[in-house]
Structure formats: C-alpha cells, structure tokens
Amino acid sequence: MKSVVSMQNFLRIGLILLATVWTTAAPAELLIRVTEGRVDAVPIAVVPFAGAHNAPENVSQIVEADLHRSGQFKPLPAEDMLSRPTNESEMIYRDFRVLGTEYVVTGSMKAQENGGYEVSYALFDVSRQVKLMEESYRPPASQLRDVAHAISDRIYEQLTGIPGAFSTKILYVTFNRHAADPYQLQYADADGHRVTTILRSKEPIMSPTWSPDGRKVAYVSFEDNGRPSIYTHELATTQRQKVSSFSGINGAPDWSPDGQKLALTLSRDGNPELYMLDLNTKALTRLTNHYGIDTEPRWLPDGESLVFTSSRSGGPQIYKLNINDKSVRRVSFQGAYNARPDVTPDGRYLVYVHRRNGNFNVGVQDLQRGTFNIVTRTDMDESPSVAPNGSMVIYGTQDRGTGVLQAVSIDGRVKVELPSKEGEVREPAWSPFL
C-alpha cells in the first residue's frame, strides 16, 4: 500500500507544481542559446547570400543559426572570411582551406515580379574541391523562413546522414497570471520563431502531444469546472473535440503511430489505469489492471506496444506493455525513481526523468545494449520529448527559479537553452516531421 500512496503523491505533486511554479509569462518567441557543442564540431562557412539584405528574412543567417544550434557544426564568422562567393564560379577553395573550413554554403536571393523570391544555394566540399549539391526554391516572401529551414535540413542530412529537424515545431504551455486567460497552449518553429497560440484558458492545460501527421494535437484541459478532460484540436481549422471526460483522472494522452487511437490514463474504475481510445469508433479498451498506479503511456514505433510509468514495484518505474496480450515487463532498473518516458523514432533509446541524489535529470537508456546515461546537469527536469530524427531531446527545467525549456543531444554532448523572452514555458512536445 505504501508504494501506491507514494505514486499518488507523485501525481498530485505534479499537478500542484504545474499550478504554482509559474511566475509571469506572455506569448513570446523563444530565445536560442547553444551552451555546449561538440568539441569535434564540423567547421562550415555559410557565406552571406547575395541579395539577402533587401529581403524580409535573411535565409543565410537562418541556415547558419540552424546548423550552429544543432551543435554538430561550427560556423565561420562572416568577418573572418577571406572571400564571399555567391556561386560556383566565384568559389576559391584555398580561401577556406587555410582557415580550416571543411564545407562552404553559398547562395543568392532574387526578388520576383510576383512578390516572391528565387532562393538558390550550393554546398561545397573544400578538401575535395567539389560541389555536393545545388538547389533552388521559389517561395512567396511569407515562406522564406520555411525555405531556410528546408535548406538546413538538406545540408544536415547530406553531411550527417540523418534527416534534419529544423522544419519541425515545438508545442508547449505558458502561463501569465495577469492575463484574463492565463494559460496558453502555443507552438513555434524549432528555432523559437513564429509563435502561434492554439488555446487560451483560465484553467490549467497539460500534457500536449502531436498527432503523427502534425495536423492535430491532444491535451488535457481543466476548463470544465476545474475537472480534467482530454481534447483533440485540429490546427488548420481550430476545430476542437472533447474525447474523454470520465469521472476522475483523464490524463496523459498519446497518439498511436497510425493516428487512429489515443493511449490515456483514466481512473473511471477507481484506480489510475491505462486505456486505449479508438478515435473513429469511440471504443475504449482497458490495457492494465493492477493495484498500483499506471500512467504516462507512450507508444513504441511498432504500434503494438507502449512504455509507461507505474508504481507496481514500489515506486515510479518504466514498464513495457504488449497491446495484444496485455503482458507487462519492467524495463528501468537504475535507482528508485524513473518516470515520464519517451522513445526515439527507431525504438532503440528510452528517454525518461531519473532521480539521483535528490535531483531530477533526463536519462537515456539504450534498449539494445542495456546502458544508461544521465545527459543533463540541471536538477528539476521534466517532460522530455524526442526530436523526430532522434538526435535531440527537449525538456522542461528550472533556471534560477524560472521554468525554461532546454534541449540536449541523445548522447549528452550538445546542450541548448530555449528560454522565453518573457516568463515561463513548460511541458514541451516536439512535432513529427512536417
């Protein structure tokens, strides 16, 4: 019985913290600060694009910032460049080789009569003196940032073999105690720009999560007289639907890989258990049946299993559930507290909050090799969410008493801060590829 009470306190404390740790916040773009990169980051030069100074968005600056933010690349400052080529005919490899630069990106931006732009770029290998790729886009002015992130994705994949995640979005919750509707559910580009508010509410918003196609989100809202309900929300149309409002807990929704079902936590039968809701038929299937508390389900990529947090072994630990036969096995064994799991898209790494020496940190467990590593050095980490390319984890933490977002590479070698310009942000969720 002691373990159940402990887990109930854990869940209750989570709700209290969400409602009390906020100070003041307002809709604002997130700042991006790379606090620690790889010591072996690849030297690259993103030459200022010709015509960029006349455009509403500077594509080359955005590309440079994206690559730098990944921690995998070390951009050469423009003032240190010996020459600034804008195309292949102007490329002087020697000017970059003497500076130790391995790759060079050149490009141009030309205004079109229809108000749009032609954006061209090329990527060069300095040591081999060859052009690796060259592409052109013709976007309207309003989509220049999208083009810049797309270029960053292409360059990142060309040089690392891993798809870039610069065109993705970050979903998160903010709070402003002075606003009429203090709680806000927002999303922004992965670099913190172009914030969009999805929902404003007088009551708390929790556990936001993306559908696999990135067109919808699900979340928990307390707007119904302070009682938790789960909603789905279509971003393009702003259409909302309440999908779960049973008596007691309605929490921790997570979309299945096919987008047709939600895994969720309900206490409708007296104890918090895992359920599966078919969004088309509204059929509800109970997945667990244990006196301990089961919560925070996350689908594995195979669509046939979940990982979740449970108190059934005496304290919060991570378990794996087979959907078909309802079998359950424990997968976390380091320490007495492991919770809030997420999984990399390839299913290899399990990411969760781990308590050690009184601190709550993000840990990464290799499910193939069985290794476990702490990858953060902050002390109040929560809500880890893995990027769709599996390279980074975004999470909430405390910085001098203020809630901020931070990101860390899956190996812990790259660290990035994403504080809001004003106030606090929490409960991040990284979008799928869009």
At 312-322, the pLDDT tens digits run 999 999 999 99
pLDDT classification of 424: cutoffs 50, 70, 90: confident
Token readout for 361 is: 């940190």
pLDDT classification of 29: cutoffs 50, 70, 90: low
Query: Is the pLDDT score of 8 beyond 50?
Result: no
Name the pTM for this structure. 0.90
Give the pLDDT score at 33: 59
Give the pLDDT score at 11: 45
Q: What angle do CA 230, 266, 208 make, to 5 degrees?
A: 35
Give the pLDDT score at 207: 97
Single-letter code of the amino acid located at 272:
P
Query: Domain range holding 146?
Result: 39-160
Average per-residue pLDDT for the chain: 90
CA within 13 Å, CB half, 282: 5
Query: Is the pLDDT score of 14 beyond 60?
Result: no
Give the pLDDT score at 5: 37
CA within 13 Å, CB half, 139: 21
Q: Say yes or no: 132 and 156 in one domain.
A: yes
Whole-number percent of the chain with pLDDT over 70: 90
Please give the tally of structural domains in the chain. Answer: 2
CATH classification at residue 133: 3.40.50.10070
Mean pLDDT of 173-202: 91
Q: Say yes or no: 339 and 280 in one domain.
A: yes
Question: Which of residues 117, 142, 160 is at a domain's end?
Answer: 160
Query: Is the pLDDT score of 9 beyond 50?
Result: no
Give the pLDDT score at 273: 98
Question: Which of residues 160, 181, 205 is at a domain's end?
Answer: 160
Mean pLDDT of 178-206: 93
Cβ-count burial of 329 within 10 angstroms (0-12 exposed, 13-18 middle, 19+ buried)? exposed
Least confident of 33-42, 111-120, 174-183: 33-42
Q: Say yes or no: 253 and 314 in one domain.
A: yes
Give the pLDDT score at 311: 96
Query: Is the pLDDT score of 144 beyond 50?
Result: yes
Query: Could you tell me if 331 and 320 are in contact, meaning their C-beta atoms sit under 8 angstroms apart?
Result: yes
Give the pLDDT score at 31: 61
pLDDT classification of 37: cutoffs 50, 70, 90: low
Q: Say yes or no: 156 and 172 in one domain.
A: no
At 87-101, the pLDDT tens digits run 999 999 999 999 999
Q: Say yes or no: 256 and 144 in one domain.
A: no
Q: Say yes or no: 420 and 382 in one domain.
A: yes
Query: Is the pLDDT score of 24 beyond 90?
Result: no
Give the pLDDT score at 360: 96
Q: Say yes or no: 115 and 201 in one domain.
A: no
Give the pLDDT score at 27: 44
Mean pLDDT of 130-139: 97
Cβ-count burial of 20 within 10 angstroms (0-12 exposed, 13-18 middle, 19+ buried)? exposed
Q: Say yes or no: 43 and 30 in one domain.
A: no
As a 3-state breakdown, the chain gives helix, strand, coil percent values, each rounded to 5, of 15, 45, 40
Whole-number CA gyration radius for the chain: 23
Q: Say yes or no: 121 and 84 in one domain.
A: yes
Q: Say yes or no: 44 and 14 in one domain.
A: no
Residue 244 zone, left/alpha/beta (φ > 0; ψ -120 to 50; rest): beta
Give the pLDDT score at 23: 31
Mean pLDDT of 259-280: 97
Q: Between 382 and 379, where is the model more confident?
A: 382
Q: Say yes or no: 154 and 175 in one domain.
A: no
Q: Say yes or no: 91 and 141 in one domain.
A: yes
Question: Which of residues 127, 160, 193 is at a domain's end?
Answer: 160
Give the pLDDT score at 399: 78
Least confident of 32-36, 79-83, 240-244: 32-36
At 332-373, the pLDDT tens digits run 999 999 999 999 999 999 999 999 999 999 999 999 999 999
CATH classification at residue 206: 2.120.10.30
